């Protein structure tokens, strides 16, 4: 017994002895201590460094790599982008980083170093080969010590707010550098080209958005430079810049050259063809005109030629012809999209290697040749937004077994595929918007099971959704089925999306419930359908990525679920024009980023939930046409400083107008009409700064946001829109909502006088205080409201004379002062004379034209004078002299807003139209002035 125990003990000790050296090869103690100090100085909200704990082999910590020979830490990867969401570290880099003497790779990209300087001590990591400091929010200047990194081969610096350097001396010392990517403003560094030209091993250079100076004729050392990649895009370089001279010199060789987004203009220089080595040439958005030079046809290595978004304007057949010779055998990608190229699509079989062809957004016409079906290497084919016509059928796709991405949108092509056609390809991306696809959904499209991007909006489909179920797949990222007549219900698939997709099914005939999986999208528009669910199934999901939700114009009913905290990321919520009822749920207050809230035209009741005071980003609130009661809350003014539009029209709100409303410096539309609001109009309305100013830059109230699509961000905008009464008609304002400046307090129980301070709201276009109990006189200097187009003070108890200053408002086109106690003579002016008696009637003591009552002492003698002035005005009308700038603005805005009545009259009257366009040219900058459509006046003038 004892012997066997001893034996066991001995074996155990032996085993321990054997193991000891291997366990300790891992981590050097002083390096572990250094790493722990580094961790201490970093704020790690996302747990990137959670594996860094003191009792472990540091070589096994995430982001740490040790040499398998020496055990020293050689790589440190603190990259903060684990997914498309940046999950970054904050804080600072601890100097004990320099303890890691053997470090060859250091990556601290996608973090937030709060605009501090890149630490100088990084320069003492003399073994560094690879250094990635990109997107790390480093600021100030680049420390010259960086120049000590004599072994450095790869340097990433882009995406940091670093100051414009005066020189690049540090760079000139990095003699081992092969790869450099930075976007620092180099406008003051006139010798940048000499410096990069002198770095002997530099083969990849990315200087994107560096404000590179357009230097001319600089002496260059006659060393030959050879680049794999040279990317100088987005720099405003012009064709006289030395860069071109340098490139075209016989010593420079480049394989991939990207000069996109510069300002070259003119014809494409022949000389590009002299860069023999060129395989990929990107010249997008550089304002080139004319044709592709014939010399390009001789470039036997050319694989990619990208000339997207220029002003090229020849015939496509000539372009193709000019590339024939040699380049046509090598070209794999030809991008001529977004130009003004004309002609029809030629036979491209002389380009046998073609994999990507982008010709969309040109002026191509004619039919598509059947030979296209022979381009068997084709993967991407974009022909959309051209005037192509004729039939497209399976012949055009007969050998296209590799096709992945097809754009035939906005063409007049007639789709004619046999019902049973089974295509050889599986498309990932389908752009068929505004094509004649329907009425039935093509069967061959139903077989495209791997599609992640599909746009078949406005394509005449009136099929049942059951033929489209295949589009709901976990890989879908973008789905636009809007503006069709698709019927049926969306099945309740318990689908998990790989990435939250954008789903737009607006304007169809869909009905039934909205299945909860749809709320896992990042954008969901189901408006203008017939969905009739009574309980939105929000509570089961939790999706912070849903930024946009529009369910307006359906038949949804019931109470809103109190689960909005599950959709914390919502920026825009539109539930207008449904049958929702009950209280506005408290949890809407958890939408901290919401900017637009539209619950108008439902049956919501109760008070405005005070939790909404958390939603400090709100710009737009529309709650009109509900049954809301209670007082107008103070927090509207005190907690929501960004409000631009607030509409509470047609509810049952009572109490007085809180003074806090005056804090809303950005407010432009205040519509509280048709409530039971009492008390007086606050004197402090002159604090509504936006209404005191005539200028406003943007015609729309837009929300701009980035949406992520797997591999890229797309910037999208949403424009608020709102139904507003304008001269007795309701219009859906969207394109000019930002120009409107309106106060409508009509049909309430307001008392007291109109405060003097109102006259400071000189940007105001419409003021409606009618149907209240207002008393006192009309403010005498009301004429200071120079932008006013609409003034309605009718049905109050206003007394005294009509101030003559009213005649100073040139732009006034609607005036209603009827049914008050006004007295005295109606002032006259060419402007005021255009209003008829209805503007004044119901004021027993008012006299003078246009009323029939004569004023005391005003006898027949007055009449000729008045007739005279009318005649005078009439004569001026014929000469257009009478027409004010305001009128032209009105017409221009009417044009923008789509008031076709006005545009129609313009078309009839040539001289008016000429004046109108002259105005547009001369006064473009004054367009801000406002909206008003002096339709009546136009017609009157046309009749004269």
Ligand X SMILES: *[C@@H]1O[C@H](CO)[C@@H](O)[C@H](O)[C@H]1NC(C)=O
Per-residue binding string, ligand X, 656-675, x by CB under 6 A, is ---x--xx------------
Q: Residue 85 — φ and ψ, nearest 5°? A: -80, 130
- Residue 942 phi/psi, 5-degree rounding, is -65, -30
What's the closest the beta carbon of residue 770 comes to ligand X, in angstroms?
Answer: 25
Q: Which is nearer to ligand X, 412 or 474 (CB)?
A: 412
Q: To the nearest whole angstrom, how small is the minimum distance from the Cβ of residue 177 to ligand X?
A: 23
Question: Taking the complex as a whole, how short is the minimal distance between the CB of residue 114 and ligand X, in angstroms?
Answer: 4
Beta bridge partners, 130, equal 105, 154
Shortest Å distance, C-beta 913 to ligand X: 26
Among 63, 346, 366, 512, binds ligand X (CB under 6 A): 366
Name the minimum Å distance from CB 662 to ligand X: 4
User: What tokens were used for 736?
Assistant: 């000019």
Shortest CB 657 distance to ligand X, Å: 11
Copy the structure tokens of residue 372: 């296209």
Separation CA 916–CA 9 (nearest Å) = 104
CB within 8 Å of 318: residues ≥ 6 apart: 291, 343
Indicate the residue among 67 and 462 with the shorter CB distance to ligand X.
67
Per-position x/- string for 53-82, each x denoting binding to ligand X as judged by CB under 6 A, each - no binding:
---------------x--------------
Tokens of 347: 């036979």
Give the contact letters, 608-647, x = binds to ligand X (CB under 6 A), - = no.
Answer: ----------------------------------------
Minimum Å gap between C-beta 312 and ligand X is 11
Indicate whether 90 belongs to the interface with ligand X (CB under 6 A).
yes
Match 């528009």 to its residue by tokens. 525
Q: Is 752 helix (H, G, I), strand (E, B) or coil?
A: coil
Nearest distance, CB of residue 119 and ligand X, angstroms:
15
Is there binding between residue 114 and ligand X (CB under 6 A)? yes
CA angle at residue 729 from 909 to 626, to 5 degrees? 155
| β-strand pairing of 73-77 with 64-66 | antiparallel
Regarding 464 and contact with ligand X (CB under 6 A), the answer is no
Among 724, 803, 713, smallest CA distance to 758 is for 803
Q: State the nearest-atom distance from the C-beta of 321 to ligand X, in Å.
A: 4
Residue nearer to ligand X on the CB measure, 689 or 834:
689
Stretch that binds ligand X, among 274-282, 315-323, 690-698, 805-813 (CB under 6 A): 315-323
What is the DSSP code string of 162-182?
A: PPPPS--HHHHT-TT--EEEE
Q: How far is CA 648 from CA 584, 732, 736, in A?
A: 14, 17, 20
* Kind and range of the H or E run holding 252: strand 252-258
Site string for ligand X, 253-292 (x = CB under 6 A): --------------------------------------x-
Residue from 160, 687, 768, 772 binding ligand X (CB under 6 A):
687
Pairing of strands 729-733, 722-726: antiparallel
Q: Whole-angstrom Cα distance, residue 451 to residue 473? A: 8
DSSP-assigned states of every residue in 363-430: EEEE---GGGGG-TT--EEE--SSEE-SEE-GGGGTT-TT--EEE-TTS-PEE---TT---S---SEE
**CA separation for the pair 377, 490 (Å, rounded):** 37
Q: Is-contact 721 596, C-beta < 8 A? A: no
Name which of 68 and 717 has its Cβ closer to ligand X.
Answer: 68
Nearer to ligand X, 194 or 339 (CB): 339
CB atoms under 10 Å from CB of 813, counted, come to: 23
Shortest separation between residue 616's beta carbon and ligand X, angstroms: 17
Instruction: With beta carbons less than 8 A apart as the criterion, state whether 146 and 122 touch.
Output: yes
Between CA 29 and CA 56 the distance in angstroms is: 11
Q: Which is nearer to ligand X, 280 or 663 (CB)?
A: 663
Q: How far apart are CA 334 and CA 408, in angstroms?
A: 17
- Phi, psi (degrees; rounded to nearest 5) at 147: -65, -10
Of 321 and 854, nearer to ligand X (C-beta) is 321
207 or 368: CB nearest ligand X:
368
Residue 20 CB contacts under 8 Å (≥ 6 apart), including other chains = none
Q: Of 250 and 412, which has the nearer Cβ to ligand X? A: 412
Is 184 or 657 the residue whose CB approaches ligand X more closely? 657
At its nearest, how many Å lie between ligand X and the CB of residue 366? Answer: 4
Binding window for ligand X (CB under 6 A); candidates: 78-86, 314-322, 766-774, 832-840:
314-322
User: Measured from the CB atom, is 293 or 641 closer to ligand X?
Assistant: 293
Query: Cα(841)–Cα(837) distance, rounded to whole angstroms?
Result: 6
Q: β-pairing, 548-550 with 572-574?
A: parallel
Nearer to ligand X, 412 or 702 (CB): 412
**Cα angle, residue 815 at apex, residues 938 and 662 outer, rounded to 5°:** 120
Residues 320-359 touching ligand X, rule: CB under 6 A, are 321-322, 344
Closest CB to ligand X among residues 343, 561: 343
CB of 116 to ligand X, least distance (A): 8
Nearest approach, Cβ of residue 14 and ligand X (Å): 25
Tokens of 667: 């407010």
Q: Which of 44, 57, 245, 318 binds ligand X (CB under 6 A)?
A: 318
Smallest separation, CB 293 to ligand X (Å):
4
Nearest distance in Å: CB 766, ligand X: 23
Q: Is 122 in the site for ligand X (CB under 6 A)?
A: no
Q: Within its chain, how far is the Cα of 50 from the centroid? A: 37
Closer residue to ligand X, CB minimum distance, 105 or 735: 105
Based on CB atoms, which residue is closest to ligand X, 68 or 715?
68
Q: Which of 431, 434, 442 is nearest to 460 (CA)?
A: 434
With CB under 6 A as the contact rule, the residue among 72, 105, 198, 294 that binds ligand X is 294
Q: Note whether 653 and 674 are within 8 A (CB).
A: no
Q: How many residues bind ligand X (CB under 6 A)?
A: 17
In the complex, minimum distance from the CB of residue 923 to ligand X, in angstroms, rounded to a whole number: 33
CA distance 206 to 256: 11
Q: Of these, 25, 616, 684, 915, which contacts ligand X (CB under 6 A)? A: 684
| Comparison of 88 and 431: residue with beta carbon closer to ligand X | 88
Q: Which stretch binds ligand X (CB under 6 A): 119-127, 316-324, 404-412, 563-571?
A: 316-324
Pick the closer one to ligand X by CB: 327 or 826. 327
Estimate to the nearest angstrom the gap between the alpha carbon of 689 and the chain centroid.
27
| Contact status: 88 vs ligand X (CB under 6 A) | no
Task: Give the number of other CB atoms < 10 A from CB of residue 186.
Answer: 22
The angle formed by the CA atoms of residues 146, 151 and 152, to the nearest 5 degrees, is 55
Phi, psi of 868 (to 5 degrees): -55, -45
Closer CB to ligand X, residue 763 or residue 886?
763
Question: Which range binds ligand X by CB under 6 A, 201-209, 274-282, 519-527, 655-663?
Answer: 655-663
Q: Is-contact 71 58, C-beta < 8 A? A: no
411 touches ligand X by CB under 6 A: no
**In the complex, least distance from residue 342 CB atom to ligand X, rounded to whole angstroms:** 6
Sign of the alpha-carbon torsion through 254, 260, 264, 270? positive
Any contact of residue 365 with ligand X (CB under 6 A)?
yes
Q: In angstroms, what is the minimal distance from the CB of 290 to ligand X?
A: 7
Question: Which chain residues interact with ligand X by CB under 6 A?
Answer: 68, 90, 114, 291, 293-294, 318, 321-322, 344, 365-366, 659, 662-663, 684, 687
């Amino acid at each position: 017994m004892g012997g066997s125990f001893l034996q066991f003990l001995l074996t155990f000790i032996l085993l321990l002895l054997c193991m000891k050296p291997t366990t300790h090869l891992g981590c050097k103690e002083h390096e572990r201590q250094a790493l722990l100090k580094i961790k201490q100085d970093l704020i790690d909200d996302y747990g990137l460094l959670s594996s860094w704990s003191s009792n472990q082999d540091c070589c096994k910590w995430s982001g740490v790599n040790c040499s398998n020979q020496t055990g020293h830490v050689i790589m440190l990867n603190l990259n903060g982008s684990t997914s498309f969401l940046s999950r970054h570290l904050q804080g600072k880099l601890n100097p004990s980083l320099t303890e890691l003497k053997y470090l060859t790779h250091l990556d601290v990209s996608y973090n937030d170093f709060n605009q501090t300087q890149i630490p100088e001590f990084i320069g003492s990591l003399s073994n560094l080969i690879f250094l990635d400091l990109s997107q790390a929010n480093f600021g100030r200047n680049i420390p010259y010590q960086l120049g000590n990194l004599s072994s450095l081969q790869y340097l990433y610096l882009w995406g940091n707010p670093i100051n414009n350097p005066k020189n690049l001396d540090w760079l000139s010392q990095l003699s081992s550098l092969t790869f450099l990517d930075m976007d620092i403003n180099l406008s003051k560094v006139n010798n940048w080209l000499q410096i990069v030209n002198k770095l002997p091993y530099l083969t990849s250079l990315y200087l994107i958005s560096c404000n590179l100076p357009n230097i001319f004729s600089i002496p260059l050392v006659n060393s030959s430079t050879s680049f794999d990649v040279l990317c100088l895009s987005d720099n405003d370089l012009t064709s006289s810049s030395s860069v071109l001279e340098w490139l075209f010199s016989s010593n420079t060789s480049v394989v991939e050259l990207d000069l996109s987004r510069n300002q070259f203009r003119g014809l494409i220089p022949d000389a590009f063809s002299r860069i023999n080595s060129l395989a990929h040439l990107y010249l997008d958005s550089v304002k080139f005109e004319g044709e592709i030079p014939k010399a390009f046809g001789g470039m036997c290595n050319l694989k990619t030629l990208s000339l997207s978004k220029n002003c090229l304007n020849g015939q496509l057949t000539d372009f193709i012809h000019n590339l024939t010779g040699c380049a046509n055998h090598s070209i794999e990608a030809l991008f001529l999209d977004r130009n003004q190229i004309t002609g029809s699509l030629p036979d491209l079989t002389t380009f046998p290697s073609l994999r990507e062809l982008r010709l969309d957004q040109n002026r191509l016409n004619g039919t598509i040749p059947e030979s296209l079906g022979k381009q068997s290497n084709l993967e991407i084919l974009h022909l959309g937004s051209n005037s192509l016509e004729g039939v497209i059928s399976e012949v055009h796709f007969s050998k296209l077994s590799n096709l992945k991405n097809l754009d035939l949108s906005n063409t007049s092509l007639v789709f004619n595929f046999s019902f049973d056609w089974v295509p050889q390809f599986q498309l990932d991306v389908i752009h068929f918007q505004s094509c004649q696809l329907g009425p039935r959904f093509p069967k061959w499209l139903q077989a495209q099971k791997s599609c992640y991007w599909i746009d078949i909006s406005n394509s005449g489909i009136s099929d049942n959704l059951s033929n489209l179920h295949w589009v709901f797949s976990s890989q879908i990222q973008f789905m636009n089925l809007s503006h069709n007549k698709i019927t049926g219900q969306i099945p309740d698939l318990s689908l998990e999306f790989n990435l939250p997709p954008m789903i737009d099914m607006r304007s169809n005939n869909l009905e039934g419930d909205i299945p909860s999986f749809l709320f896992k999208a990042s954008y969901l528009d189901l408006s203008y359908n017939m969905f009739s669910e009574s309980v939105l199934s929000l509570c089961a999901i939790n999706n912070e990525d849903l930024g946009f939700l529009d369910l307006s114009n359906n038949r949804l009913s019931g109470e809103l679920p109190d689960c909005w905290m599950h959709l914390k990321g919502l920026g825009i919520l539109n539930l207008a024009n449904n049958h929702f009822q009950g209280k506005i749920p408290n949890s809407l207050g958890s939408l901290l980023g919401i900017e637009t809230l539209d619950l108008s035209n439902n049956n919501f009741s109760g008070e405005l939930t005070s939790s909404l005071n958390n939603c400090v980003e709100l710009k737009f609130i529309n709650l009109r046409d509900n049954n809301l009661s209670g007082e107008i809350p103070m927090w509207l003014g005190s907690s929501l400083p960004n409000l631009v539009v607030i509409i509470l029209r047609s509810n049952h709100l009572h109490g007085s107008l809180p003074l806090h409303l005056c804090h809303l410096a950005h407010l432009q539309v205040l519509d509280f009409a048709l409530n039971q609001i009492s008390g007086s109009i606050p004197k402090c309305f002159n604090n509504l700064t936006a209404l005191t100013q005539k200028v406003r830059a943007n015609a729309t109230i837009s929300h701009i946001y980035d949406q992520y699509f797997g591999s890229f961000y797309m910037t999208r905008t949403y424009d608020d829109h709102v139904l507003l009464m304008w001269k007795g008609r309701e219009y859906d304002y969207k394109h000019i909502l930002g120009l409107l400046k309106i106060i409508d307090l009509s049909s309430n129980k307001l008392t007291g006088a109109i405060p003097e301070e109102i006259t400071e709201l000189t940007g105001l276009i419409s003021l409606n205080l009618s149907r209240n109990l207002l008393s006192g006189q009309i403010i005498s200097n009301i004429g200071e409201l120079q932008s006013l187009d609409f003034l309605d003070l009718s049905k109050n108890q206003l007394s005294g004379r009509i101030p003559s200053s009213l005649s100073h408002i040139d732009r006034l086109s609607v005036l209603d002062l009827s049914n008050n106690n006004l007295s005295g003579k109606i002032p006259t002016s060419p402007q005021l004379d255009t209003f008829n008696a209805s503007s004044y009637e119901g004021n027993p003591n008012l006299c003078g034209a246009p009323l029939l009552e004569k004023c005391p002492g005003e006898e027949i003698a007055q009449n000729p004078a008045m007739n005279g002035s009318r005649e005078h005005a009439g004569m001026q009308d014929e000469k257009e002299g009478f027409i004010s700038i305001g009128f032209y603005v009105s017409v221009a805005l009417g044009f923008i807003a789509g008031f076709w009545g006005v545009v129609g009259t313009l078309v009839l009257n040539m001289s008016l139209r000429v004046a109108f366009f002259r105005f547009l040219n001369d006064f473009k900058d004054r367009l801000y002035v406002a909206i008003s459509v002096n339709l009546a006046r136009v017609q009157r003038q046309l009749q004269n």
